[in-house]
Structure 1
Amino acid sequence: MPLSPDQQADIDAARAATQQTRRATAPGLEEELFTAHEVLDHGFVRVVDYMGDDSAIVQAARVSYGAGTRHVSNDEGLIRYLMRHWHSTPFEMCEIKLHVKLPVFVARQWIRHRTANVNEYSARYSILDREFYVPAPDALAAQSTTNNQGRGDVLQGEEAERVLRYLREDSTRAYDHYEEMLSQDGQQGLARELARMNLPANIYTQWYWKTDLHNLFHFLRLRADSHAQYEIRVYAELISDLVAKWVPLAHKAFEDYRLGGANLSAKGVECIRRMLKGEDVTQETSGMSKGEWREFVNILDGADV
C-alpha cells in the first residue's frame, strides 16, 4: 500500500476540515483535495493546493489583450482561441501543488521540466523507506529493435521470472546493506548522505511539485503521450484527469489542440495543398527526408507516429 495507516488518518483529517473562502474554487478538484491516488506499486499523486480556475484564464486574457479578443463571445471560445494561437501567460495565472511519490529514476526524468518549484524528501536527513518499484509482468518489455528509447515485446516465461527475481533480490540486498551501513551494533555508522549512494534507482522518493497551468500542459503534452516511458506516463495520465476536474474548458482545448492535434512543417502544409489539388505526392517529390515523410503519412492515416 502507498500509504500507512497514520498517513491515511492525516489525509482523512485534512479532508474533513473545511474553510470558507472568497477565492474562486473548482468544485471537481475540491473533491479531490488531499486524496492519494495510487500509481504503480507504491506511488501516489495527491493535490495539496491550487489557485485559479477557467475564469482566471479568461480574466487575465481580457486584461492582457483587451479589444483584441472582444469578438470571442464566451469563455470557452476565448480559451480555445488562446490555446489555438499558443498564448501562454493567461494559463500561467493558474497554479497547482502536488504531492507525488515516485521511483527515483522517474523523478530524474520528471525534474527535466525545470519550470516547476520542487522540494524533495531528503535522504541526507531522513532514512528512505524500504519500497522499490518492480514492474508488473505486462510492463516488463525487451529493448525495441527500432527505437533506442523504446520498448519491444513483453518478456515471457523463464526470462521474465529471472529478470523479476534479479530486480527484487538486488533491491533488497542494496537496502539491507544501506541499513547496515547506517547503524551497526557497537559502530558509529556511515552518514546518511553517503549511505544513500548505494541505493538502487527504483527506490521511491517523494516531493512537492508546484507549477502553473501553461507549464503543466507542456509536461502533459510530452509525458502523457503514447511515446513517453510507461512509468512516467501513468503519472501524467492521472494528473491530466485531475486537471480536467480543475479547469475543464482549458483541458478540453488542450486535448483538442495539443494531445489530439498534429504539428505540420511548411513542407507538410504544402504537400497537403498539392494533394487537395489532385497531385500524387511521394516522398521523393515532397522535399522531406524518409523519416519526416513516414511521420507525415502516419498523421494523415491516423496512425501512431
Structure 2
Amino acid sequence: MPLTPEQQAEIAALRAETRPTFRPVAPGIERRLHEAVPVLDHGFVRVVDYMGDDAAIVQAARVSYGRGTRAVSSDEALIRYLMRHAHTTPFEMCEVKFHVKLPVFVARQWIRHRTASVNEYSARYSVLDREFYIPAPEHLAAQSTTNNQGRGAALTGEEAERVLRWLREDAMRAYDHYEAMIATDGQQGLARELARMNLPANVYTQWYWKVNLHNLLHFLRLRIDPHAQWEIRAYAGVIASIVRDWVPIAWRAFEDYRLNAVTLSAQAVEVLRRRLRGNGWPSRTAE
C-alpha cells in the first residue's frame, strides 16, 4: 500500500488539527497539506510544510514589510518582471517540504538536483517493505531507435508478458533472499546495510525533500519535459499541480517565460532580423 497504517493515522491527526498562526498562509497549498497523492503503483507525494507565497516573492523584491495598499495587478507585474529577467533570489524566499515515496531508480535521477535538502529512509536501520515498481503495460516500452537514453513503442504480446513476469519474479526472489539473509531465527543474520545490496533498483524508498521555489521550478522545467523519463515525469506532474495552487501568479509567469518559452541563439536572432527586414535567409558564403 502507498501509506502504512501508522502514516495514515498520523496524516489523519494532522489534517484534523487546526492552529492559529501569525504567519502568512497560502490557501491553495493549505488545502493540500498532508494529502498523499498517489503516483505510480505504490508511490505518493504529500506536502509536509511550506513557507511563503506570491506575496513573499514581492515582499523580498521590494524589501518591504507587507503588501500595504498595492494592487494585486502591480504584484503580478513585478513577479512577471522578475521571472522574465531571471532575477531569481526573490523566488528563493518560498520553500516547500515534500514527503515522497518513489522507486530507487527514480530517486537516483531525482537526487542529481543537488539544490535541495534530503533525508532518505535508512535501509541500514530499518527493513525495506516488499514493494516494487512494476510498469503498467502501456509504459513497458522498447529501446528508442533514435535516442540512446529514451524509450520507443510499447512492447506487445509474448515479449511484454515475459518481461513483466521476469520483473515480478526477480523482484520477489530478491526480496525473499533479503528477508532470509537478515533473519536471526537459527542464524546470526546478515547486517541490513549489507543485505540491501541484493535488492533491485525498482524497490521503493521514501524521503523528505525540502527545496526553495527557484530550484523547484528548475527541477520542474527539466522533469515535466516530454524528454524526461516517464516515471519521474509522473512525480513532477503532481508537484507541478501543487505549485500551481501554492503560487498561482509565479506559476503563470513560469509557464510564460520558462516552461513554454523558446531560447534563441545569436545566429537564430540574426536570421529572424533578416527575415523581418525582408532580406531572406543568409547565404552560406556570407556566413
Tell me the TM-score range normalised by the shorter chain. over 0.9
Task: Output the CA distance in 2 between the equivalents of 1:174 and 1:283.
Answer: 62
- What is the CA deviation profile of residues 141-191 of structure 1, one whole-angstrom value per residue up to 9, with x for unaligned ones? 111111111111111111111110110010000000000000153101000
Task: Output the CA distance in 2 between the equivalents of 1:113 and 1:286.
Answer: 42
What TM-score results when the alignment is normalised by the length of structure 1? 0.89
Q: Is the 8 A contact 2:220 2:236 kept in 1?
A: yes
Once the two structures are TM-superposed, the CA of residue 286 in structure 1 deviates from its matched residue by 9.5
Q: Which residue of 1 aligns with 2:232?
A: 232
Q: Which residue of 2 aligns with 1:108?
A: 108
- What is the CA deviation profile of residues 257-293 of structure 1, one whole-angstrom value per residue up to 9, with x for unaligned ones? 1111111111111111122223443795796xxxxxx
Matched, 1:42 2:42: yes
Task: Output the CA distance in 2 between the equivalents of 1:284 and 1:163.
Answer: 51
Q: Is the 8 A contact 1:89 1:214 kept in 2?
A: yes
Q: 5+ unaligned residues in a row in structure 2: which ranges?
A: 65-69
Task: Output the CA distance in 2 between the equivalents of 1:284 and 1:44.
Answer: 53
Matched, 1:28 2:54: no
Matched, 1:9 2:20: no
Q: Which residue of 1 aligns with 2:167?
A: 167
Q: Which runs of 4+ in 1 moved over 2 A?
A: 4-7, 277-287
Compared CA separation, residues 214 and 47, structure 1 to 2 (3 A): same
Compared CA separation, residues 282 and 213, structure 1 to 2 (3 A): same
Task: Output the CA distance in 1 between the equivalents of 2:10 and 2:285.
Answer: 64
SS of 1:202 mapped into structure 2: coil
Stretch of structure 1 that moved more, 221-230 or 2-11: 2-11
Task: Output the CA distance in 2 between the equivalents of 1:175 and 1:233.
Answer: 27
Q: Which residue of 2 aligns with 1:96?
A: 96
Q: Which residue of 2 aligns with 1:214?
A: 214
Once the two structures are TM-superposed, the CA of residue 238 in structure 1 deviates from its matched residue by 0.6
Q: Is the 8 A contact 1:103 1:204 kept in 2?
A: yes
Task: Output the CA distance in 1 between the equivalents of 2:215 and 2:74.
Answer: 24
Compared CA separation, residues 126 and 270, structure 1 to 2 (3 A): same
Q: Is the 8 A contact 1:271 1:286 kept in 2?
A: no
Once the two structures are TM-superposed, the CA of residue 12 in structure 1 deviates from its matched residue by 1.1
Q: Which residue of 2 aligns with 1:191?
A: 191
Q: Is the 8 A contact 1:182 1:192 kept in 2?
A: yes
Task: Output the CA distance in 2 between the equivalents of 1:279 and 1:133.
Answer: 56
Q: Is the 8 A contact 1:128 1:205 kept in 2?
A: yes
Task: Output the CA distance in 2 between the equivalents of 1:159 and 1:284.
Answer: 49
Q: Which residue of 2 aligns with 1:299?
A: none
SS of 1:226 mapped into structure 2: coil
What TM-score results when the alignment is normalised by the length of structure 2? 0.94
Task: Output the CA distance in 2 between the equivalents of 1:18 and 1:107.
Answer: 33
Matched, 1:244 2:244: yes
Q: CA RMSD in A?
A: 1.8
When the two structures are aligned, how many residues end up with a matched partner? 281
Task: Output the CA distance in 1 between the equivalents of 2:286 and 2:199.
Answer: 51
Q: Is the 8 A contact 2:271 2:282 kept in 1?
A: no
Q: State percent identity of aligned pairs.
A: 73
